[in-house]
Amino acid sequence: MTERYSQITGWGKYAPPQVLTNADLEKMVDTSDEWIVTRTGIRERHIVGPGETNATMSVAAARQALDVAGLAPKDVDLIVVATSSPDHFLPSVASQVQYQLGAECPAFAITAGCTGFVYALATAHQFIATGAYQRVLVIGSEVISPFVNWQDRDTCVLFGDGAGAVVLEASVQPAGVLSFVLGSDGSGGEHLIIRGGGSVYPPSHEMIEDKAMYIEMNGREVFKFATRILGEAALQAVERAGLTLDDVDLLIPHQANLRIIELAARHLGLPMQKVVVNLDRYGNTSAASIPIALVEALEEGRIRDGMNICMVAFGGGLTWAAAVVRWGQPAQPVEWPLVWRFAPAGQKLSMAAARVRLHARQLADVASYHAGSLLLPLYTFAGLRKPPRNK
Ligand code: ACO
């Protein structure tokens, strides 16, 4: 049987026009632009206005993606929406997207925190690889702002709303999704949680007084988890794709915190020029962050045919995921570098060395994190400079 690949043939994004800056937040909680920029890299975020919902944002991003792919909504075989902030528990936001888009296909939602988009991409890829479907719309969309306690400075400076979408199409060309890694460790569930509103703690006056409908986060634990897992997941995905880190042309990490991204790039030995960063203008849009960053990188001409792109995310659950995508439609079958064709052991050797380097750099950073002195002055100093804007 001919192997079936899934290629990204369309892409789109939507960010609400309403922007909340760090200066706005200074008026709401005891914080400062300087603190937010040095600790997170975030300068502003988009927040939904009247009439904007998870479904309307998804549809806006999806329409763009379909236009780029040259498809009509009725051409879509399946819609997968990754979100942790649906418009309703029931019906699924995915069904509302299918209806509002005018598509005639099955639709379902996936919840894996900020990791959701990569989970959704891997899921969509399975439907294509098995031959069940030809064209799948994959969306990451979040309206997090109603679940944020705007009096809690620990969390309210971090998040933003938005949506991104891609069209995944079946192809026999060896490109598109080359590999993926998915992971979960529920033992860390309490580190990032909305305690109320579900069946364990249903809505009630008590739940509201307890402020249990808002996101609660143990920032330090999530930070430690993220800096450990991003490098490891990316490395695994690259290895499963039969590539080495030298073959990675662009890293698109989950946009939560510039410090986390810089540490992950450092652990992998990737220069920041190869890393997409746009969190300064969006904040953490959870499952929407990777597709929005992907679309911006495309708009800025940073992605060309034949490039190997590694997407990597971490999130509530706790969860993690990475995927390697080879961009574009190669005119001829991919030419593997001579050395790997005749010496597959070379790839294994190179990745083993990369793993040793990753763990050595991680250990060094954990040591300096616990020493508590090395990194923060560095970032306080770094805060005087502007986070990269991918220009
Ligand atoms: N403004 C000013 N001071 C603040 C603010 C704020 N907005 N928030 C916290 N502080 C204070 C704290 O109260 C603390 O003060 P204290 O020392 O007097 O107690 C001090 O700043 C330092 O707090 P830390 O928590 O140590 O700050 P840290 O450097 O760890 O940065 C942050 C906090 C930005 C939250 C970081 O831990 C982080 O990014 N963690 C990861 C979060 C993340 O990625 N979440 C998304 C997960 S993905 C998903 O699924 C949604």
Q: Mark whether 22 is an active-site residue.
A: no
Please tell me the distance between residue 254's alpha carbon and the centre of ligand 1 in angstroms.
Answer: 17
332 alpha carbon – ligand 1 mean position (Å): 49
Residue 222 Cβ contacting ligand 1 at under 6 Å? yes
Record the tokens describing residue 200, joined without a space. 């364990």
> Going by DSSP bridges, is the β-strand pair 44-46/19-21 parallel, antiparallel, or unpaired?
antiparallel
Q: What are phi and psi of 277, to 5 degrees?
A: -130, 120
Fold match flag (5-177 vs 179-382): yes
Percent of the chain with pLDDT over 70: 90
Distance CA(283)–CA(155), nearest Å, equals 11
Task: For residue 356, give Cα distances in angstroms to 243, 351, 353.
Answer: 17, 9, 5
DSSP β-ladder status, 192-194 and 215-217? antiparallel
Q: Is the pTM of this model over 0.85?
A: yes
Task: Give 113-153 pLDDT, tens digit per residue.
Answer: 999 999 999 999 999 999 999 999 999 999 999 999 999 99
Residue 74 reports pLDDT greater than 80: yes
The confidence score (pLDDT) of residue 326 equals 97
DSSP 189-204: GGGEEE-SSSSSS-S-
Q: How far is the centre of ligand 1, averaged over its atoms, from the C-alpha of 390 (Å)? A: 25
Instruction: Share the mean pLDDT of the chain.
Output: 91
* Gap from CA of 157 to ligand 1 centroid (Å): 9
The DSSP code for 148 is S
179-382 — its CATH code? Answer: 3.40.47.10
Question: What is the atom index within ligand 1 of the atom nearest the CA of 259?
Answer: 39
Res. 343 pLDDT band, cuts 50 70 90: low
- Find the DSSP H helices in the chain: 22-26, 33-40, 54-69, 93-101, 116-129, 153-156, 205-209, 219-240, 258-268, 279-282, 289-299, 338-342, 344-371, 375-382
The C-alpha atoms of residue 291 and residue 274 are separated, in whole angstroms, by: 17
Determine the residue of 24, 159, 216, 223 to mutate for testing ligand 1's pocket, defined as the one with the most ligand atoms within 8 A of the Cβ atom.
223
According to DSSP, residue 273 is labeled G
Q: Is the pLDDT of residue 108 over 70?
A: yes
Structural fold of domain 5-177: Peroxisomal Thiolase; Chain A, domain 1 (3.40.47)
- Phi and psi angles of residue 333, each rounded to the nearest 5 degrees, phi first: -50, 145
Residue ranges covered by each domain of the chain: 5-177, 179-382
Pairwise CA distance, residues 313 & 129, whole Å: 23
Q: Which residue from 20, 154, 221 has its CB within 8 A of the most atoms of ligand 1, so it is best to mutate? A: 154
